[in-house]
Homo-oligomer: A and B are copies of this chain.
Amino acid sequence: MTKYVYMFGNGSAEGSGALRDLLGGKGANLAEMAGHPHLRLPVPPGFTVTTEVCTHYYAQGRSYPPGLQEQVQAAMEHVETLTGRRFGDPHNPLLVSVRSGARESMPGMMDTVLNVGLTEQTLPGLVALTGNERFAWDCYRRLLMMYADVVMEKATGREPYKGEGIRKFLEAQLEEYKKSKGYRHDTDLETEDLQALVKQFKVAIRQALNESFPDDAWQQLWAGIGAVFASWMGKRAVEYRRIEDIPDTWGTAVTVQAMVFGNMGNDSATGVAFTRNPANGDNFFYGEYLVDAQGEDVVAGIRTPAPINKASAKAQGREDLPTLEELMPAVYAQLEDIRNRLERHYRDMQDIEFTIERGKLYILQCRAGKRSGVAAVRIALDMLKEGLVEEQEALARIGPSHLVELLLPRIDPKSEEKAKPIAKGLPAGPGGAVGRVVFTSQDAVAWAARGERVVLVREETSPEDVDGMHKAVAILTSKGGMTSHAALVARGWGKCCIVGSPDVEFAPDSKSFRGKDGQMVREGDWISLNGTLGHVYLGRLPLADADPERDPYFREVMRLADKYRRLGVRANADTPKDAAKALSFGAEGIGLFRTEHMFYGEGSEKPLFLLRKMIMSRTEKERRQALDELFPYVKADVKATLEVMEGRPVTIRLLDPPLHEFVPHSEDKIKELAEALGVTPAEVRRRGEALQEANPMLGHRGVRLGITYPEITEMQIRAILEAAGELVRAGKKAYPEIMIPVTCAAEELLHQKVLFDRVLSEVKAKFGLRELPCSYGTMIEIPRAALRAGDMARVAEFFSFGTNDLTQMTFGFSRDDVGAFLPHYMEKVNLDGQKPVGILRADPFQTLDQEGVGELIQLAIERGRKTRPNLKVGICGEHGGDPESVKFSHRVKMDYVSCSPFRVPIARLAAAHAVLEEMGVKVKRV
């Protein structure tokens, strides 16, 4: 008989932290905390139903495996023994919580039912046990509301009652009741009130859902377990997994645990704490708590919690509130001891949920704490210094998205100095952001879809808002603390976020809010957020780039990364300025210098005019004349960058785009060109139109231009080699690598190589040089070039994969047109009636498609190196800065990746991670 149920409690457990896949994160950690000899923490006893049951549940038409019922019953008996209470017993009732727990934390995405086992029969027993009638009836009221919502409505897949759902319906009745009695708070409700409400709710539930609330402990338990499994495929959970790339097949476990109550009076409390500050990594015990409350109250952000100690109070700017340390010093001391033991045990920052029931401390949950990127970097490196973790593990824990946060733009400090915040809140997500205000998740999605940058502003967020939060550039809430839903989610994503700002005062229709000095902010207004400080500004403040080099933690990460990585990292740069930036970020060369950049933007007027003159020429003679005029510009352009790079390799790609991209459209440009060419403007227009193509991506560009007009190639090669020659003659270093784009056959390379060889010897003669360091290679960006790589490498000394175009052609996707269908390809759809999957797992223009494009790359490298063992191989598409693609590049034995200067640190880290993975170290992938 397969074991489906694992018990824990009272200093022992059947499972352990190692069984995470089977018991889920929550179940495994509870078992570890309860049973591990170094811990044996005060965990309320309970048991976990494994993820295998969830898998069976979905594979077998939502049914349970045989034997499960018996195992659950036996486990419940064990809990009864440990607690000395009985489930469903009218005199001495055991109440339980029923919670989800997936392999990876999906905070708030699945459902929970508390107080299961409370019925009209057991309620008097609870009153007797606690001596608190009001408390018992309040628990019952809560159970009715939660059960109707989670189990009776959501889990059954019904349409939400009256569009809003049964919970809102019951809440409205509660509010109305309070109003009729003149009450302001829930705590004003007396036992009689709660009794009346319970009666009223039962009728309302039956009326709304056509079904009675089951006043039977076991019926509640099984329906509760089913509801948790059902919530695994709920809309929120599916969405979250899509964003976080968690497979649908993992399933969730269900943990059933004896209830403990933080809402049993002023000697009771509940709280959430982190072993270090999750916002910046500071090494002190950080947390919040609420007296006389259940756990859901803290997370939901309905009441603003108080800090657990002075340090937390200071960090949160809430030094006015009484800390747990002050209020219950003994319990706090016990909690702090647990904090220290947990961190030593897990060797990572932990997120702890605790409850104090009449002065007794219970630990309900612990897990690796979500943290900001800044915090992740600092915690990893601090723990390395503290000797808690080894170097490799510290490096493996720093994910690319963590490092990105250190590189995030922030509000320009000078502008911020002059601006006055309209609101202050808790700094839940770092960095700066500027966007237009929207007030609903739906609006955030819709506005973002049309290209707007939006800031989602809400009183609080809930799992239903995940989609809109993801699309927003930042999130601002008026309620909730550092452990509220908004803060947790934003922190995980490294998104700019400010929570719990009391200055934000919503208008009744929630379509505007006022700042602390009464400034009105309406939908569509621009605001700017400093998520690191928690300041909100009206209008658009300028964003400034980060300066990570001044951060010792950043420098240490880079030092470690460089210690491990073997893959070279270059940058794509077209100007001396970009080249200098790339160097400062640690680039070891330039992997892509696009010669055409000089025809765009500032200072391009004259060269662009000459290029146009060349394009519009009708004879080789005319063309050569224009090329001669263009030559000094190209040479100067190349020389400036070669000089900055001081002999590091600079891969210079010859002219790549189709010529018609440069055809003038404005009347005066056409006229100017016509005069220069001695033809009519109409003729210029005609020649321009003749260059139009049906599919320019597959058209007359790259080497195809060089073959039809060899003089274009010749001019470029001469300009590059003379630029290098001038530097070498002046005693400097220069190493240009001439790269031929858009090739599909070795003969193209041979054709251009004849020109290269001739020009090289001419330039050497001209400058009186015996040697001129340079090399000749090609971009591999057409499927056929990859297939014929063995031939190509006979001529090319290096390959650089142009993965943007290679992806376009391997998929048959035009990047310019893919918008019409790619979103549909990323959407999960129900193909086999069970599991929703996307046609594509990721946008292949963002993350290299290893299965298709990747196979071509691998094959090209193998074939190329077979012909030329010392073939230099790199990648210069935008994938060069994508961590998974960098690791792929390492695995297929490339020499280097090249990416935008800003991504160079990410690529260095990812390259080190690739080595760690090779050594069997598990690394943080995002």
**For the complex, is A695 an interface residue (Cβ under 8 Å from B)?**
yes
**For the complex, is A131 an interface residue (Cβ under 8 Å from B)?**
no
Contact B707 A825, beta carbon cutoff 8 Å: yes
Contact B820 A699, beta carbon cutoff 8 Å: yes
Contact A829 B751, beta carbon cutoff 8 Å: yes
Report chain B residues within 8 Å CB of A783. 783, 809-810, 812, 852, 856
CB-contacts of A654-704 with B (<8 A)? 693-700, 704
Which among A372-380, A407-415, A835-843, A885-893 touches the partner chain? Answer: A835-843
CB distance from A246 to the nearest CB of B (A): 18
CB distance from A900 to the nearest CB of B (A): 23
Which among A9-17, A452-460, A741-749 touches the partner chain? Answer: A741-749
CB-contacts of A804-821 with B (<8 A)? 805, 808-814, 816-817, 820-821
Chain A 531-573 per-residue mask, 1 if CB under 8 angstroms from chain B, else 0: 0000000000000000000000000000000000000000000
Taking A784-B852, A811-B782, A831-B754 as contacts, is the C-beta distance between A748 and B839 under 8 angstroms? yes
Q: Who on chain B is nearest to A837 by CB?
A: B747
Q: How far is the CA of A809 from the CA of B786 in the complex (A)?
A: 13
Q: How far is the CA of A704 from the CA of B820 in the complex (A)?
A: 9
**For the complex, is A102 an interface residue (Cβ under 8 Å from B)?**
no
Report chain B residues within 8 Å CB of A748. 839
Taking A787-B856, A810-B784, A811-B744 as contacts, is the C-beta distance between A831 and B695 under 8 angstroms? no
Among A708, A817, A856, find the residue whose CB has the most chain B CB atoms closer than 10 A: A817
**For the complex, is A824 an interface residue (Cβ under 8 Å from B)?**
yes
* Total copies of this chain within the assembly: 2
Q: Who on chain B is nearest to A791 by CB?
A: B851
Taking A695-B814, A831-B747, A851-B788 as contacts, is the C-beta distance between A704 and B821 under 8 angstroms? yes
Q: How far is the CA of A855 from the CA of B787 in the complex (A)?
A: 8
**For the complex, is A750 an interface residue (Cβ under 8 Å from B)?**
yes
CB-contacts of A768-819 with B (<8 A)? 781-784, 787-788, 805, 808-814, 816-817
Taking A707-B821, A751-B839, A821-B707 as contacts, is the C-beta distance between A782 and B812 under 8 angstroms? yes
Give the residue of B704, B820, B856 whose beta carbon is less than 8 angstroms from that of A700: B820
Taking A707-B825, A747-B831 as contacts, is the C-beta distance between A814 and B852 under 8 angstroms? no
Report chain B residues within 8 Å CB of A832. 750, 754
Taking A707-B824, A707-B839, A742-B812 as contacts, is the C-beta distance between A700 and B831 under 8 angstroms? no
Contact A788 B852, beta carbon cutoff 8 Å: yes
Contact B787 A708, beta carbon cutoff 8 Å: no
Contact A696 B698, beta carbon cutoff 8 Å: no
A interface size (C-beta, 8 A): 52
**For the complex, is A298 an interface residue (Cβ under 8 Å from B)?**
no
Contact A839 B745, beta carbon cutoff 8 Å: yes
**For the complex, is A853 an interface residue (Cβ under 8 Å from B)?**
yes
Contact A831 B694, beta carbon cutoff 8 Å: no
Q: How far is the CA of A821 from the CA of B659 in the complex (A)?
A: 13
Contact A698 B808, beta carbon cutoff 8 Å: yes
Report chain B residues within 8 Å CB of A695. 695-698, 814, 816-817
Q: How far is the CA of A829 from the CA of B750 in the complex (A)?
A: 11
Contact A694 B694, beta carbon cutoff 8 Å: no
Give the residue of B698, B811, B849, B856 whose beta carbon is less than 8 angstroms from that of A697: B698
Q: How far is the CA of A811 from the CA of B784 in the complex (A)?
A: 6
Report chain B residues within 8 Å CB of A812. 697-698, 742, 744, 781-784, 805, 809
CB distance from A834 to the nearest CB of B (A): 12
Report chain B residues within 8 Å CB of A754. 831-832
Report chain B residues within 8 Å CB of A704. 820-821
Chain A 459-488 per-residue mask, 1 if CB under 8 angstroms from chain B, else 0: 000000000000000000000000000000
Report chain B residues within 8 Å CB of A856. 783, 787
Report chain B residues within 8 Å CB of A817. 693-696, 698-700
CB distance from A582 to the nearest CB of B (A): 29
Q: Who on chain B is nearest to A823 by CB?
A: B708
Contact A693 B814, beta carbon cutoff 8 Å: yes
Q: How far is the CA of A695 from the CA of B819 in the complex (A)?
A: 13
CB-contacts of A383-409 with B (<8 A)? none
Contact B813 A698, beta carbon cutoff 8 Å: yes
Contact B821 A700, beta carbon cutoff 8 Å: yes
Among A783, A788, A838, find the residue whose CB has the most chain B CB atoms closer than 10 A: A783
Report chain B residues within 8 Å CB of A838. 747
CB-contacts of A268-313 with B (<8 A)? none
Contact A693 B816, beta carbon cutoff 8 Å: yes
Q: Who on chain B is nearest to A816 by CB?
A: B694
Give the residue of B694, B742, B750, B784 whose beta carbon is less than 8 angstroms from that of A853: B784
Report chain B residues within 8 Å CB of A696. 694-695, 814, 817
Q: Who on chain B is nearest to A788 by CB?
A: B852
Q: How far is the CA of A853 from the CA of B784 in the complex (A)?
A: 7
The 7 A-B pairs at the shortest CB distance, nearest first, are namely A698-B814, A695-B814, A694-B816, A784-B852, A782-B812, A699-B817, A747-B839
Q: Can you report 11 A-B residue pairs in the complex whose CB atoms are below 8 A from each other? A: A694-B697, A697-B812, A698-B809, A708-B821, A708-B824, A747-B840, A748-B839, A751-B829, A751-B831, A751-B839, A781-B812
A contacts, CB < 8 Å to B: 693-700, 704, 707-708, 742, 744-745, 747-748, 750-751, 754, 781-784, 787-788, 805, 808-814, 816-817, 820-821, 824-825, 829, 831-832, 837-840, 849, 851-853, 855-856
Given A700-B817, A784-B812, 12 more A-B residue pairs with CB atoms under 8 Å apart are: A693-B817, A694-B816, A695-B697, A696-B814, A698-B698, A698-B809, A708-B821, A745-B839, A750-B832, A751-B831, A783-B812, A784-B852
